[in-house]
Amino acid sequence: MTAGPHAQIMEQVKKVAAGEGLNIQIIEFSDYVQPNAALAAGDLDANSYQHKPYLDAQVKDRGYPFAVAFNTVNFPIGLYSKKIKKLADLKEGARFGIPNDPTNGGRVLLLLQAQGLIKLKDGAGLKATPLDVVSNPRKLKFIELDAAQLPRSLDDLDASAINTNFAISAGLNPKTDAIAMEAADSPYVNIMVVRQADLDKPWVAQLRKAYQNDTIAKFINEQFKGSVLAGW
């Protein structure tokens, strides 16, 4: 899993699971590519860091034999800036950081469209790219970066979209620091992923029971105060 909330939540899940006889070893990654490669290679039994649109793209591109075990949490993506207090203050030609992976990049463009800053061509959907922008009145310049690098881009860019797990790891508070947030009912709920061959094994059901319970839901609510939402 990626560092930050995913790892923090899994530490709590590990405690619950231990009481049920399931031993969990947590391995943290700093990007979005390695966890799926490690799962495919057999170095991991499960990973918890991605949403379904990202998984679908990875399976299509790389042929991973993966399955969704269960929903975990939802991280509404936020827009951040050290230079402006609200999106209306973005100047013409502003440099805007977005994730360079197709699904999260498209997610941000949909958010910018919802905020009235751009318009995407019809049918662009969840995989929209800057090439699908058909109206950009402020002539925003999209700077595509690895999602984990976006918090550090705030010093150089006018604004950036940052996934909540990386925002929290960088000391940002999505509830108070974001100048705009994605709606909580987005299609980007995160998931626990396993190899297809393991989906029906007893430990997967044990892991689900250890994750999707009131103890973990309470921890999420108290620890993240609405910036991370239980996805079940």
Q: Record the tokens describing residue 65, joined without a space.
A: 């034999």
- Residues 189 and 68 sit within 8 Å (Cβ to Cβ): no
Mean pLDDT (10-residue bins), the chain, 232 residues: 88 96 95 94 96 91 97 91 94 96 88 95 90 97 95 96 89 91 81 98 97 96 87 90
So what's the pLDDT on residue 58? 93
On the question of a common fold for 5-75+188-230 and 78-181, the answer reads yes
Using CA atoms, how far apart are residues 27 and 49, in angstroms rounded to an integer?
A: 12
5-75+188-230 architecture in CATH? Answer: 3-Layer(aba) Sandwich (3.40)
Residue 134: how many other CB atoms lie within 10 Å: 11
Which pLDDT does position 14 carry in this prediction? 97
Q: How far is CA 211 from the centre of its chain?
A: 18
Question: What topology is assigned to 78-181 in CATH?
Answer: D-Maltodextrin-Binding Protein; domain 2 (3.40.190)
User: Percentages helix, strand, coil for the chain, rounded to the nearest 5?
Assistant: 45, 20, 35
Q: Is the dihedral of CA 43, 48, 50, 52 positive or negative?
A: positive
CA–CA distance, 41 with 99 (Å, rounded to integer) = 26
Q: What is the pLDDT of residue 151?
A: 96
Query: What local confidence, expressed as pLDDT, does residue 32 receive?
Result: 85
State both tokens at 20. 């049920």
Task: With CA atoms as reference, report the closest residue to 33 among 76, 2, 73.
Answer: 2
Q: Where are the domains of the chain?
A: 5-75+188-230, 78-181
* pLDDT attached to residue 222: 93
Nearest-CA neighbor of 66 among 77, 58, 74? Answer: 58
Residue 127, token pair as written in the block: 């995989």
* Two structure tokens written together for 41: 């290679």
